[in-house]
Structure 1
Amino acid sequence: MKIKTIVTILTASTALATAAPSAAQESAKPAEAVEATVTDPARLAAARTTVDYLFPLGTYQRMMKGTMDKLMDSILSQTFDRPMGETMKGYGLDDETIEDMGDTSINDMMRARDPYFEERMRISTTVMMDEMVDVMTAMEPAIREALTKIYARKFTASQLAEMNRFFATDTGGAFARDYMMVFVDPEMMQSMMGMVPEMMQAMPRIVKKVEEATAHLPPPLKHDTGEEQEEAEQDSQ
């Protein structure tokens, strides 16, 4: 398996483990059934107030700025420092090949090819996370609008009004301000870091299932180039 492929898989596992759960926006079902699309202005207005409390503009910047890049850098560093033989278990390699890998880590192998690999990864992660802050911030108005419709659909006007009265109190306001921030709290981040080894162990099974699910499709067309040939030769060494 190509080293670049391994790096991609491990990076994807880390990103999945550090993603803030989308389920955080789910709430209990309202006491009464509601229509699929809410058009009641009063209900939408109440839901918009709820979103103002729980997801004000600038939420993504508060959550991600100076936090996610450090977290990703820390987790990737730990992940790539794992012995290669341990990391590659379950990827179809024979025991002798895995044993030959010994305690060599991905960092060791990448440093042999690129002495600046770790610094390159650190800089890349910082730049990508900073750019993601801008992207996510630009998306916030649309996300807030979607949340408004979701809350209006899930809760009645009276339920929304009751929540908003709570959020207007000192205790409710404190809860609302930090509602999303708990997902980037150091303790939560540490918990998410603990998920990475389990996700790494699951990746071979997931990759195999993807291969099985797409086995009936013709293989992608290959267009050999000098660069691809050179890369293939390097990976075979």
Structure 2
Amino acid sequence: MKTILAAAVLLTSASAMAQTSEESASVSDAMAADHAELTEMYSAMFASEPLSPEQEARVPLATEVVALLFPPGTYAKMINETMAPMFDTMFGAAAPLSRLALAEVLGVDGARLSALDESELTQALEIVDPAHEQRAEITGAAMLDVTGELMNEVEPAYREGLAHAYAARFETADLEALKQFFATSVGGRYAEQSFLVYSDPKVMSAMTQVMPRVIELVPQMMERMAESMEALPEPRDVSDLSPQERERLAGLLGMSVADLEAAATEVSGDDESF
């Protein structure tokens, strides 16, 4: 793995070594809280209707079909074929990442490092961290290992979700026909490759060609949003609320009116008295 990967992880490594056990515990607690909140949010976003009795009866057959389309280890293949080269590309060839990371570590202006060629950058890395190549290899391997373990844990739930989706979207005759097709030579090969093909570098490369157009559309999207919201009133801050509204809002948030007003003042930076 390239030395540039090492530069990209210099900050991460230094930060990890500098953290105390109390800080690590605090970060873990915060991440657990964020995870719970995200889980609840996504569950609400993708809530699905329960299967009908007829659809439920098709789940076993749909499970057989899905097992052919998404056999165990599919995610591992996707990681090996896609993510490993992606990591090499992101960290092994993205010189700006190494320059930014090294600038942060040294506390110098990033512009000073932007003038360095790759040879000079490598020499600077070797001075700051003689073990940068080994550190980069360990970091890259750890990222792939953890990602692979995560995907192995996710696979059963994903496969179950696919089975339910197929049971809902296809009739019994459809599922039987798919199963028969996947039993053929070409059908079996299609089933084996059907998910992997979407992460093929050729597909991903083609998708990157769309990005310039996406970037062009962002200002248009923002403009349309602004135009559509012109007729809407501006959101109010605490200073705009009546005493009754402040009391009600504070009660909903489980805090006193004084604390609510103090928090609003701190956020706005306004010393104006409520």
User: What TM bracket, shorter-length normalisation?
Assistant: 0.5 to 0.7
Q: Output one character per residue of 1:109-131: Cα deviation in whole Å (capped at 9) or x when no partner.
A: 65553233343223211122123
> How far 1:145 sits from its partner (Å)?
0.8
> How far 1:171 sits from its partner (Å)?
1.1
> How far 1:67 sits from its partner (Å)?
5.7
Q: Output one character per residue of 1:43-95: Cα deviation in whole Å (capped at 9) or x when no partner.
A: 2122112211111112122322476334312331111367959xxxxxxxxxx
Whichever residue aligns with residue 74 of structure 2, its letter is T
Q: Which residue of 70, 73, 76 maps to 1:55?
A: 70
Contact 1:64/1:129 (<8 A) preserved? yes
Specify the alignment match of 1:32 in structure 2: none
Percent identical across equivalent pairs? 27
Relative distance call for 1:66 and 1:7 in structure 2 (3 A) is: farther
- CA distance in structure 2 between the aligned counterparts of 1:80 and 1:7, rounded to whole angstroms: 15
- CA distance in structure 2 between the aligned counterparts of 1:128 and 1:55, rounded to whole angstroms: 23
Specify the alignment match of 1:146 in structure 2: 161
Q: Which residue of 173, 181, 188 maps to 1:166?
A: 181
- CA distance in structure 1 between the aligned counterparts of 2:65 and 2:197, rounded to whole angstroms: 18
Contact 2:69/2:192 (<8 A) preserved? yes
Q: Which residue of 92, 95, 115 maps to 1:80?
A: 95
Relative distance call for 1:126 and 1:46 in structure 2 (3 A) is: same
Within a 5 Å distance, the mapping from 1:1-237 to structure 2 comes to 36-38=49-51, 39-40=53-54, 41-65=56-80, 68-80=83-95, 100-104=112-116, 111-188=126-203
Query: Whose Rg is larger?
Result: 2
Contact 1:166/1:172 (<8 A) preserved? yes
- CA distance in structure 1 between the aligned counterparts of 2:150 and 2:97, rounded to whole angstroms: 32
Relative distance call for 1:163 and 1:66 in structure 2 (3 A) is: closer
* Partner-residue secondary structure (3-state), 1:36: coil
Relative distance call for 1:152 and 1:105 in structure 2 (3 A) is: farther
Contact 1:37/1:153 (<8 A) preserved? no
How many positions carry a matched residue from both structures? 165
- Structure having the larger proportion of residues in helix: 2
> How far 1:4 sits from its partner (Å)?
7.3
Relative distance call for 1:159 and 1:105 in structure 2 (3 A) is: farther
Contact 2:8/2:91 (<8 A) preserved? no
Contact 1:36/1:153 (<8 A) preserved? no
Q: Output one character per residue of 1:7-49: Cα deviation in whole Å (capped at 9) or x when no partner.
A: 88xxxxxxxxxxxxxxxxxxxxxxxxxx932243432122112
- CA distance in structure 1 between the aligned counterparts of 2:9 and 2:265, rounded to whole angstroms: 21
Give the gaps of 5 or more residues in structure 1: 9-34, 86-96, 206-215, 220-237
Whichever residue aligns with residue 103 of structure 1, its letter is A
Specify the alignment match of 2:33 in structure 1: none
- Once the two structures are overlaid, the 10-residue window that deviates more, 135-144 or 109-118, is 109-118
Give the gaps of 5 or more residues in structure 2: 1-6, 13-47, 101-108, 220-263, 268-274
Q: Over the residues paired in the alignment, what is the CA RMSD in angstroms?
A: 4.3
Whichever residue aligns with residue 169 of structure 2, its letter is K
* Partner-residue secondary structure (3-state), 2:93: helix
